[in-house]
Every structure is written in structure tokens, then in C-alpha cells.
Amino acid sequence: MILSWGNYNEGGLLIESLETHKRLFGCYPEWILADQLFGTLENRRFMKEKGICYVGRPLGHPSPDSKQQKRLLLKEMPERNAIEGKFVQGKKCIRSG
């Protein structure tokens, strides 16, 4: 794999990454906290088959209980933001170095 900081949609790499996780640790993760681009139909089907909980917006129109779902997402956002912040720090170090 080539390391690049250019624009690229990594959503297609999720299943491969989950399979690598299983090979290394003997099981799939319990849940995935990721950007919306990882929430493709193919990825969602795979995660559902494997019993992996995807923390992200559901597809389609908002349901009547979407306020509760929104609260759950807002609760998870700080953790995801911390992860995204580390990516930004890494990019800055590489570009300035």
C-alpha cells in the first residue's frame, strides 16, 4: 500500500480492514465509529452479517425516533473528533517535515 495524503475515498477499504482485524485479533470489532463515507450499502451489509455495530447516520429519510439517534451520534462525536484530530496532526508533521 502506498501512503498518500491526497484526496481519496477510503470507504472501499473498510471490509479489507475488518478482515485484517479479524486475522490479527481472531474476531471482528464490536462496533465501528467512522466517517459517513464508510456507511455504504455494501459496508453496512457486511457489518450486519458479521454482527458489527456501525455508529453513524442511518440511510434514508429521518425516522420519527431520529431525535434519539441524533443524541446518540452527538454523544459519540467527541471521540471521533479526537481521532480525526490525530490524523490532522500527522498530516501537518509530514507536510512540514
Q: Note whether 53 and 78 are same-domain residues.
A: no
> pTM for this structure?
0.59
- Taking only the tens place, the pLDDT of each residue in 40-86 is 899 999 999 999 998 887 777 766 666 777 777 777 767 766 777 77
Q: Per DSSP, which regions of the chain are E strands?
A: 31-33, 53-55
Residue 65's pLDDT is 64
Let me know if residue 8 belongs to a domain: no
Residue % of the chain over a pLDDT of 90:
31
Section 13-30 average pLDDT? 94
**53 and 29, same domain (yes or no):** yes
Question: Which residues lie closer than 8 Å to 9 by C-beta, 6 or more apart?
Answer: 37
- Number of domain units in the chain: 2
